[in-house]
């Protein structure tokens, strides 16, 4: 037991000394080696901060800010709290940790269960893909019990491991829409975090008086817009509790980028993100046969990380 514990500690120290950053991406490990972050990696915080309210589906101005009492609709976000139990969470992470983690960008580690994809060339390879992991079968079945996820069939699972010691983060990005479909579904494990949404579109966002969070929140009495903010200067923070499921669709999926800032990783966080196929790979699409084969493999739940 003592020998195994020493091996585990040595492995932990090793992965905290090595990073997988490339190009302009950095983490605390390589920043120390480079004696500080490069200038292009210092991202300025957006000027206007709003908080997503799951009770209303609106982005609300924070208390004691210039935008207190102001809000705008933020559709396409579903947050399901306590989607798994603490016992299920511990078992899932234990099984993830029994397989190797690969170093990734910006201080993350990852495990991929899915086809190897070249998104730039829009090509994929099925070889080596054996399906989603067995421990996800119960989780995927449970997803189908919730409104909006009844027909959700994931074909890919990506586990990401975030650590404050590595300065883990993920830059604002939109997920691919050639292969991946309408819904992005993420299970948040081990610690709470904040998903930061932003949009680089020109123009302004129109603000309304913030709706009530009471039972009569949508009684038709919302005041007409009378204030606006530049869209590019807005960031919406979605608080994601531990063991919750976050679903992004519509505008939240296709128009607003999502990110996790380093400052929002307070403890180890593991995220399992599930992706479905786009219409091109579903019945009636031009690559429906390939899609059918991918789904058959994925839902066998016999996979190991690729």
246 is a domain residue: yes
- Cα–Cα distances in angstroms (integers) from residue 31 to residues 41, 97, 108, 167, 274, in the given order: 10, 26, 14, 10, 31
pLDDT single digits (tens) 41-100: 545 678 999 999 999 999 999 999 999 999 999 999 999 999 999 999 999 999 999 999
Name, in order, each residue with C-beta under 8 angstroms of 7's C-beta and a sequence gap of 6 or more.
Answer: none
Give the pLDDT score at 212.
75
87 is a domain residue: yes
pLDDT single digits (tens) 132-190: 999 999 999 999 999 999 999 999 999 999 999 999 999 999 999 999 999 999 999 99
* Helical residues (DSSP H) of the chain, grouped into ranges: 2-17, 28-33, 86-97, 137-143, 250-254, 288-298
273 is a domain residue: yes
33 is a domain residue: no
149: domain CATH number?
2.60.120.590
Kindly report the pTM of this predicted structure. Answer: 0.89
Give mean pLDDT, residues 195-208.
95
Q: Determine phi and psi for 47, rounding to 5 degrees.
A: -70, -35
**What is the domain count for the chain?**
1
Instruction: Give the integer Cα–Cα distance in Å for 301 and 138.
Output: 10
Q: Determine phi and psi for 4, rounding to 5 degrees.
A: -65, -40
213 is a domain residue: no
304 is a domain residue: no
User: DSSP letters of 250-305?
Assistant: HHHHHTSEEEE-GGG--S-EEEEEEEEEPGGGSTTSTTHHHHHHHHHHHTT-----
Average pLDDT of the residues of the chain: 90
Domain hosting 284: range is: 47-55+75-206+231-298
176 is a domain residue: yes
Please tell me which residue, 126 or 39, carries the higher pLDDT value: 126
Give the pLDDT score at 8.
45
Please tell me which residue, 252 or 13, carries the higher pLDDT value: 252
91 is a domain residue: yes
pLDDT single digits (tens) 221-268: 555 668 999 999 999 999 999 999 999 999 999 999 999 999 999 999
Give mean pLDDT, residues 269-287.
98
Instruction: Give the integer Cα–Cα distance in Å for 93 and 158.
Output: 13
Give the pLDDT score at 5.
43
Task: Count Cα neighbours of 251 within 13 Å in the Cβ-side half-sphere.
Answer: 8
For 87-126, strand residue ranges (E) read 102-103, 109-113, 116-118, 123-125
Q: Determine phi and psi for 50, rounding to 5 degrees.
A: -130, 155
Name, in order, each residue with C-beta under 8 angstroms of 286's C-beta and a sequence gap of 6 or more.
Answer: 280
Name, in order, each residue with C-beta under 8 angstroms of 72's C-beta and a sequence gap of 6 or more.
Answer: 50, 58, 59, 205, 206, 207, 208
Instruction: Give the integer Cα–Cα distance in Å for 27 and 18.
Output: 10
Q: Determine phi and psi for 279, rounding to 5 degrees.
A: -60, -30
Name, in order, each residue with C-beta under 8 angstroms of 167's C-beta and a sequence gap of 6 or more.
Answer: 27, 28, 29, 31, 106, 107, 262, 265
The pLDDT of residue 276 is above 50 = yes
Give the pLDDT score at 7.
37
């Amino acid at each position: 037991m003592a020998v195994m514990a020493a091996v585990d500690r040595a492995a932990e120290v090793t992965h905290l000394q090595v990073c997988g950053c490339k190009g302009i991406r950095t983490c605390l490990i390589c920043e120390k080696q480079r004696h500080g972050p490069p200038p292009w990696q210092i991202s300025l915080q957006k000027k206007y901060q709003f908080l997503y309210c799951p009770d209303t589906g609106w982005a609300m101005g924070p208390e004691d800010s210039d935008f207190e009492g102001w809000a705008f609709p933020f559709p396409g976000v579903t947050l399901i709290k306590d989607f798994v139990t603490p016992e299920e969470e511990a078992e899932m992470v234990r099984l993830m940790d029994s397989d190797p983690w690969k170093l990734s960008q910006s201080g993350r580690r990852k495990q991929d269960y899915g086809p190897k994809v070249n998104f730039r060339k829009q090509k994929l390879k099925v070889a080596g893909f054996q399906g989603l992991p067995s421990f996800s079968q119960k989780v995927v079945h449970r997803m189908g019990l919730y409104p909006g996820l009844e027909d959700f069939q994931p074909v890919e699972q990506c586990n990401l491991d975030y650590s404050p010691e590595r300065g883990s983060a993920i830059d604002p990005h939109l997920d691919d829409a050639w292969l991946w479909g309408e819904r992005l579904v993420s299970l948040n494990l081990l610690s709470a975090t904040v998903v930061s949404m932003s949009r680089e579109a020109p123009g302004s966002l129109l603000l309304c008086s913030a709706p009530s969070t009471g039972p009569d929140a949508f009684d038709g009495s919302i005041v007409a817009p009378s204030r606006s903010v530049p869209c590019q200067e807005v960031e919406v923070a979605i608080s994601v509790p531990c063991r919750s499921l976050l679903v992004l669709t519509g505008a939240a999926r296709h128009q607003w980028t999502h990110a996790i800032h380093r400052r929002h990783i307070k403890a180890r966080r593991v995220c399992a993100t599930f992706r479905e196929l786009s219409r091109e790979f579903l019945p009636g699409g031009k690559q429906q046969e390939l899609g059918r084969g991918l789904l058959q493999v994925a839902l066998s739940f016999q996979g190991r990380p690729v």
